[in-house]
Structure 1
Amino acid sequence: MSHKIITIARQFGSGGHEVAQKLSELLDIPLYDRSLVEMAAEKMGQSPIKVEEVDESALTTFLASYQISKEPNSVTGYGLSLNDSTYVTQTIIIETLARKGPCVIVGRCGDYVLRSYPNLIDVFLCASIEDRTRRIMERYSFSKKDAINAIKSTDRRRKTYYENYTHRKWGSIDSHQMLFNLSRLGMDKTVDIIKRMYERP
C-alpha cells in the first residue's frame, strides 16, 4: 500500500474535527470520525446508541468484569465487555479502511492501530483551555462552567481509553509523530502544514 493515511488524536474542544473536515475536503479523501461508531455498531449487531455510550471509553479491570454482555457479539462473541468489543471492532474497521485507500481517521487509537503502516501521518492536536472553553460554549450553548467540566471529563475519558489500549501516554510526543497547538498556529496554518506533508512525494 503506497497511499497515505492521516490520523488525528485531539483534546476535546481543540478543533480536531474541523481540522479533519478541512483536510478531507481539500485533499478529497474520506473522513472517518463519528461514522466509526455507526460502522462498529452495525458490524457488532448492536444499537448505535449503546456503542456511542462506550465510544473512546475504557472500563477499569474491576468494573469490566461486571460489564460483560450477556448477548453474543457477532465479531468478538461472548466474554468481552461492550467497551472492549467496540475497541476490537473499530480496530478491524480502521485496518480495513486503511487498506482501501487514503483517508483521515479521528481518534479511536487510529495512530496506534496503524503504527506499522509506512505512510502514516500521525498528529495530536491541542489548544489553550481558553480557546477550547470558548469553542465548546459556542458549539453546545454551554455555560463556561459546564464547558470546562465537559472538557475535563472528556479529556479524562479519552486519556484513559488511549492509555488502556495502547500503553502509551496520550498527547505525548513519544506517542505521536507531531503535536500541533492550534492556539499558537491557528486553524488554517495547522491544516496547511498537514496538507503539505500529505502532498509531499
Structure 2
Amino acid sequence: MTNHTIITIGRQFGSGGHEIGNRLSERLNIPLYDNNLISMAAHELSISQEAAEKVDETILGKFLSAYVVNMRDYTVFINDSNESVPLSDKVYEVQSSIINRLADRGPCIFVGRCADYILGDYSNCIHSFIYAYKEDRIRRIMKIYGLDSRQAWDKIKKMDRDRKTYYEAHTGREWGSIEAHGMLFNASLLGVEGVTDALEAIYRKWEDSAR
C-alpha cells in the first residue's frame, strides 16, 4: 500500500487519453508509464521489444498454442508446473509486477495495461476512462495518422476491439464501464484540456487529504 496518489487511464482509441496523460505528467511533474512498460517487460524477459509489442494490449498470445508459430518471434515459457506459457501471458505477468513496483516507488500515471485492475488493492488510485464521440475520434485519428475517414474508423474499431478483448480476458470486467474504472470522462464534451483540469484537481485534492 502507498500514501501517494496514482492515476490510471483507460481510453478509447482516438479519444485523446494518451495526450491527457502526457499533460497531467507535465503539470504534476510525475512520470507517465505507457509504451515504456513494454520495453521494461521485454528487458526482464530477455526478448525483443518487437516480440513484446506484438501481444501488447491484444489477446493474440492466448491462441498461439493452437498454431505453428515462428519461435524466434514467440518465445514459449515454462512455469513451475512445467507447463508452457504463451508470450502474452508472460508479458502481462511481468508488466503487472513492474506496475506494482513503480506504484510503490511514488506517484505516477499509467495508461492502459489493465493498471486499474492490477492496482486494485491500492487505496489511493484515481481510476479513469476517457471516451469521445465517434466523429471526434475519427477526426483525431485522421489528423494523427494521415488517413481518410473510412481508414480512420476501421483503425479505431480494430484498436478498440483489441483493447476490449485484452482487458476483459485479463480482468473479467467490462472495458469502459463505470464499475471497472470508477470515473468516466467524455472528452468530446469537456475537451482534452477540461478532462486534464478535472483529473489534476482530483489528484491535488487527494494528495492534500493524504498529508
What does 1:7-18 align with in structure 2 at a 5 Å threshold?
Answer: 7-18=8-19
Q: 1:171 aligns to what SS in structure 2?
A: coil
Matched residues in 1 for 2:156 and 2:75: separation? 33
Unaligned runs of at least 5 residues, structure 1: none
Residue 93 of structure 2 aligns with which residue? 88
Structure with higher helix content: 2
Alignment counterpart, residue 105 of structure 1, candidates 101, 110, 114: 110
Matched residues in 2 for 1:16 and 1:183: separation? 12
Q: Label 1:93 to 1:143 Cα distance change in 2 as closer, same or farther (>3 A).
A: same
Matched residues in 1 for 2:183 and 2:189: separation? 14
Higher gyration radius (CA): 2
Matched residues in 1 for 2:61 and 2:23: separation? 36
Unaligned runs of at least 5 residues, structure 2: none
Residue 39 of structure 1 aligns with which residue? 40
Q: 2:181 aligns to what SS in structure 1?
A: coil
Matched residues in 2 for 1:74 and 1:188: separation? 46
Is 2:157 aligned against 1:152? yes
Give the superposition deviation at 1:73.
Answer: 4.7
What does 1:109-128 align with in structure 2 at a 5 Å threshold?
Answer: 109-128=114-133
Give the superposition deviation at 1:48.
Answer: 0.5
Matched residues in 1 for 2:125 and 2:180: separation? 13
Residue 173 of structure 1 aligns with which residue? 178
Give the superposition deviation at 1:64.
Answer: 3.9
Give a deviation string over 1:33-74, Cα, whole Å, max 9, x none: 11011111111111101111110011485x243368674659
Runs of 4+ in 1 over 4 A off after TM superposition: 67-78
Contact 1:75/1:89 (<8 A) preserved: no
Q: Label 1:111 to 1:75 Cα distance change in 2 as closer, same or farther (>3 A).
A: farther
Contact 1:11/1:125 (<8 A) preserved: yes
Contact 2:131/2:184 (<8 A) preserved: yes
Which TM-score applies when normalising by structure 2? 0.89
Identical-pair percentage: 46
Matched residues in 2 for 1:138 and 1:74: separation? 44
Contact 1:45/1:74 (<8 A) preserved: no
Question: Aligned residue pairs: how many?
Answer: 200
Residue 28 of structure 1 aligns with which residue? 29
| AA at the equivalent of 2:49 | P
